[in-house]
Amino acid sequence: MNAHVWVKRALLLIIIGLIVQLFCLIHVTPGSFMVFALAGVGPMLLGFAAFVYAMALARARTTGDGHDER
């Protein structure tokens, strides 16, 4: 898979996390905080990790053979 696929997946996860967090702010209860913390933050962190991985793939592709230049 190339970096574009990983960026699309990362953006989807981040958007899902933000939507969950937005809905949790409508009716604030201890239960909605748990949903906010588990179902909202989890996809956002996975999305950020996927985005970082996509950027590493893109950087490796631009350096040529996929190895870091040191």
Q: What is the pLDDT of residues 23-62, one digit of tens each?
A: 999 989 999 999 999 999 999 999 999 999 999 999 988 8
The rounded radius of gyration (Å) of the Cα atoms in the chain is 16
Percent of the chain with pLDDT over 90: 70
Residue showing tokens 């748990």? 34
Query: Rounded to an integer, what distance in angstroms lies between the CA atom of residue 67 and that of residue 52?
Result: 17
* pLDDT attached to residue 8: 95
Give the model's pLDDT for residue 52.
96
